[in-house]
Structure formats: C-alpha cells, structure tokens
Structure 1
Amino acid sequence: MSETQLSEQRNAGLGLTIVIAATVSISVSNILTPMVYALGVNTETLLVLRLACFLVLCSVWIRLLGISLRIGRRNMLHCIGSGVAYAIGSGSLIAGFFFMPVSLVILIFYTFPLLIRLSEALLDRRPPSLMEIAFLLTAFLGLAICLGIGFERLNAPGMIFSALAALAVTVSFVWNGRKLASVPSTVSTFYMAATGFVLILAFAPLAGGWRLPPAEGFAIVIVAATALTFAGAFLGMYTGVRMIGASRTGLIMNLEPVLTIALAIAVLDEQMAPNQFVGAALVIAAIYGAQRLPAQGSSS
C-alpha cells in the first residue's frame, strides 16, 4: 500500500471517528433539551444560545490557531447559502413537532441520507450501487422499527415541514461538501452559524420573543451543556462532510435516534422494547456494511 493510500485511509478513519463523536454529541444535546424546556426556555431562545455558544468557541479557536477568516466573496456566498439551508432545515424540523409525533417527524427527516446519495449520483452522473441503496434502506427500516412508528397520525402540515427539513439539510450537506472544500471547516461552519444566528434573531420577535432560563446554578449548567454539545456536533458534522463525504456522513447520522433512545434509557430511566433492539441492530449493521464498501470517488 502506498503512502498516499495509507494517508487517505487514516484520514477516512479520523473522519469516521469525528462524525460518530458528533452524533453522540447531538444525541446528548437531544436528551438535555427537554430539561432546558422545563426551565421555561423556548425554542427560539435555545437555538440562539446554541449558535451563540458555537460562535464564541469557534472565534476563540480561530484566533488561537491564527486562522484567517478571509475566504473571498464567492466562498462567502456559498457559506451563507449552506447556512441558510441548514437554518431552514432546523426550523422546519422543529415546526414539524407541532403537528406530528416526534417519531414520525424524525423518520421522515432521516430520509436525508438517501436524498444526499441520490443527489450526489445525479450530480456525478454515476448511479449509486445496489448495495449502497440496500444499506440506506435497511438503516431507514431500522429507524422505523426503533421509533415504533404509528402512521395513523400522519398529517399534511407535519409531512410538509418534515420533508422540507430533510431537503434543506440535504442541500446544506451537498453544497458544503462540493463548494467549500477549499475553505477550512472551522471557518465555513463559523459563517454558516453566523447566518443561522442572524436569521433566528430576525425571526424570534415574530414567534413570541425570548424566554431566558433562571439565573441559577443548575439551570446554567444544563443550558451550557446543551449549547456545548450542540456546538461540538455542528462542527463535527461538517468536518465529516469534508473528510468522508456527505453521503457517508449522512448515513452515520442515522445513529442519532438510536443513541438518543439508548441515552434516554440510561439517563432518564426510559424503557426499550424488544423491537427497538432489533431496529437499532439493523441501523448499526447497515452503517457498518456501508463503511465497508469501496469508495467511489470524491464527493466534492
């Protein structure tokens, strides 16, 4: 094996580790979020606190490493575009929760790994292999089993918002992976988060304003932990897009609902039914199998 191949293999391994860490991080944030809501914080305030935390930490990191924020007008527009798409995706996902059960919204949302792969196939004019599609569909089936879906509660508004969330995140991942490969991921995610921050600040007054947590020790710790875990996940996801591609990053993100359920059992003392174990096993098997497939070219 040549030195170049060894370097690519190490890079892929590191990228895989980063995405898995990001998935764990967002799952922890999911578990902490209900605690934040219990403190009286609303969705708009939580989103702003998360992005503000990320922007502060990212700014410090960029300054310590001496990374330049100058990326040129074209790259800046790509960052803003990808950031707008991600903000739309996040907002649509939250909106979907008002109309349908969380499990249904999450299931529709997690069509985005398949949408990413199909988008890349269309852009590359190279159809995905049957094995790729099989693994993606297996992961989707596993999620459906794991979440215990009841389709009788489907409704049009919930489906529209959930589908819009999946489409917007797909656009953001593919856009970032293809148009921002020359920009350090720390810098691109900084501008993306800044874009989302501005959009939410503009939208919040229309949605009911701000609801801050009480200035107490426990409340501050919970809110800070939620913001920090989100910040790590946000950077990790888009770093992964650069290192292993949008398709594989999206596929690994299927672990998020599974890990959230596992953490809910461990932290919140919730129960897991036998069918959920089967669904989780299918998701993990599909992700492992997909990682064993040979790479089919760059996604950038």
Structure 2
Amino acid sequence: MSRNTILSGLSIGLLAALCYGANVPYAKLAAQAGASGPTLVFYRAFILVALLGVLGLGQSRSLAVPSGSRLAVLGLGVATSFVGLCYISSVAFIPVGVATILYYTYPLMILVVAPLVDGERLTPARLGIFALAFLGLCIALGPNFTALDWRGLALALAGALAAAAQFFCAARATRGSTPVIAGFWTQLILIPIALAGCLVAGRLDPPTVLVAAGMPAGMHILLFVLAFGFHLLAARLTPPAALGLVFCAEPVASILLATQVLGESLAVAQVSGGALVLIAVMASVLAESRKQAAPA
C-alpha cells in the first residue's frame, strides 16, 4: 500500500470512529423515547441491507461474493454481530466505564496478532501509542472497580475479541469483494443474531417505535450508517494494526457530544484523559506517515 492510500484510510477511519462515538448519545435518547438498543440494532440492519443492496446492484448488478472472500465476509458478519451483542450486554453486569476500558483493549489485541496474521511489525512506537491512548481512556472514564461481576467482564472481553476479529475480517472481505457488497452481507447475517438478542431481552418493538422516538432514533441510524460505511472503506485502505489505534477516538467523541446532546458536564479528568487519547491518535497518524515515507 502507498503512503497516500494508508493516510487516506486513517483519515476515513477517524471519521468512522467519530461517527460511531457520536451515535451513542443519540442511542441513549432514543432508548429514553422507547426505542431500546436491541430494537435499534435490529431495524437499522434492515435499513442498511436495503441501502447497500440498491448500491451494490447499481454498481455491479450482482450481490454475489467472490468465492475467495466468502469466509472473510461470513467472519465479518458474525464478528460485527457479537461486537454489539457482547459489549452492550456487559453493561448490565458491570459499570459502563469498566466495560468500555475492557472493550478498548481490542487495539492491543490487533497489534499482538497482526505479526502472525498480516506480517505487521509489533513496534515499540505502536505499543507506546496504544499505552498512551489506553491511559487516557482510563483517566477519562474513571471506572469503579468495585463489585465486578464475572459475566460482565467476560462479555466485555468477548466484545473486544470480536472487535479485533472484525478488523481483520473487514480488511480481507473488502479487498476481495467491495465495501458495499461486504457490508450488505454483514448486515444480512446480523439480522437473525440481532433478532435473537431482542428475543433474549424479551422485547421486540414494532417499527413504529422508531417513528415515535423521532429525531434521536433517526440521528442514531444516520450516524451508524455513515460510520459503518467509512469503517469498511477504511479497512480496505489501511492495515488493521494502524486502523485500530485511530478508533480509540470513538469514546472521546461520545463524551464530547454527550455534553451537547445530553447536557452532561465535563470533569477535569475527562478533559485531560480525552486530550491524551487525541494526542495518541495524532501520533499514530504521524508514525504511519513516517513509516510509509521511509525508504524500503
């Protein structure tokens, strides 16, 4: 991959992370208006299948996945499903801050596995950047480590493992096929898994609940659609090890937007922790830029 390609991928990945983070406060508002998390996931998958199906047929008149990419697309669909299922479920047993910190160990998992899967080097610079970002998250979220339930810990870590797998599968699925077709099948695979999650939660609301929830539900779905599209496009352009570090900006976007949408106030710890994460993200982009600019 060329330097410009990777930098473009990192920029698009940052947009994806910001959109993913921004949709969280709107998901909370939508839940308060009656549209539960599992319900949003279930119906937004239908919307994405319809949008991506039309785009895919318009581009190539076929939604078929090349035989060499089918396993990667299947893995992407399953991993994407379990990212939300495990991560969202974990907060029923442990504090949100703890769940988020455990979940965002996935960039480290990607860094550790990348040398085996992609031949990417586990450099001290990348480990240092992850350590800085992780420290920032710990400071910003300020988790309470008392009364931890092993089920919540296991679910959050399972979500992290699924996220790491998602990045590797996304890179292979989008390069062997196209982001549109890979995304279409990912969301189609997600629908029955999301339905199972709704049934386990004992709640499957009718589609009219999205209309009743109004603007928050609409903004959540719009931001997720943008985030998912940017994510798959970035995965095609950037190695997982580099892209995963940029996604540490996601929770910072959630915290910042929550101050505007939910009226929450920022504590000194959140400002300083968020600043450390953003510094780490910028350092990651600069490090990748220098790496690609260096002579072979």
Q: Distance in 2 between matches of 1:34 and 1:131?
A: 36
Checking the alignment, whether the CA contact within 8 Å between 1:39 and 1:214 is kept in structure 2 is: no
Pairing 1:44–2:38 present = yes
TM norm structure 2 = 0.90
Pairing 1:188–2:188 present = no
Distance change (3 Å), C-alpha of 1:200 and 1:214: closer
Identity of aligned residues (%): 26
The residue that corresponds to 2:259 in the other structure is 265
CA apart distance, 1:215:
6.2
For 1:77, which of 41, 63, 71 is the aligned residue?
71
The alignment covers a number of residue pairs equal to: 291
CA apart distance, 1:66:
3.6
For 2:150, which of 156, 160, 164 is the aligned residue?
156
Q: Distance in 2 between matches of 1:160 and 1:262?
A: 28
CA apart distance, 1:12:
2.6
Distance change (3 Å), C-alpha of 1:131 and 1:67: farther
CA apart distance, 1:161:
0.3
Checking the alignment, whether the CA contact within 8 Å between 1:53 and 1:228 is kept in structure 2 is: no
Checking the alignment, whether the CA contact within 8 Å between 1:19 and 1:237 is kept in structure 2 is: yes
Pairing 1:229–2:249 present = no
The residue identity in structure 1 corresponding to 2:184 is F
The residue identity in structure 1 corresponding to 2:235 is V
Checking the alignment, whether the CA contact within 8 Å between 1:50 and 1:228 is kept in structure 2 is: no
5 Å matches for 1:142-291? Answer: 142-178=136-172, 180-212=174-206, 219-291=213-285
Q: Distance in 2 between matches of 1:284 and 1:223?
A: 28
TM norm structure 1 = 0.89
Q: Distance in 1 between matches of 2:63 and 2:111?
A: 31
Unaligned runs of at least 5 residues, structure 2 = none
Q: Distance in 2 between matches of 1:119 and 1:217?
A: 43
CA apart distance, 1:171:
1.0
CA apart distance, 1:124:
4.3
Checking the alignment, whether the CA contact within 8 Å between 1:50 and 1:226 is kept in structure 2 is: no
Q: Distance in 2 between matches of 1:270 and 1:241?
A: 33
The residue that corresponds to 1:28 in the other structure is 22
Superposition CA RMSD, Å: 2.3
Checking the alignment, whether the CA contact within 8 Å between 1:99 and 1:158 is kept in structure 2 is: yes
Unaligned runs of at least 5 residues, structure 1 = none
Distance change (3 Å), C-alpha of 1:195 and 1:23: same
Checking the alignment, whether the CA contact within 8 Å between 1:177 and 1:246 is kept in structure 2 is: yes
Q: Distance in 2 between matches of 1:54 and 1:233?
A: 12
Q: Secondary structure at the match of 2:63?
A: coil
The residue identity in structure 1 corresponding to 2:8 is L
Q: Secondary structure at the match of 2:214?
A: helix
For 1:55, which of 49, 60, 65 is the aligned residue?
49
Q: Distance in 2 between matches of 1:256 and 1:214?
A: 30
Q: Distance in 2 between matches of 1:215 and 1:168?
A: 29
The residue identity in structure 2 corresponding to 1:16 is L
Q: Distance in 1 between matches of 2:176 and 2:74?
A: 15
Distance change (3 Å), C-alpha of 1:12 and 1:38: same
Q: Distance in 1 between matches of 2:147 and 2:242?
A: 31
For 1:106, which of 100, 111, 118 is the aligned residue?
100
5 Å matches for 1:106-145? Answer: 106-124=100-118, 127-145=121-139
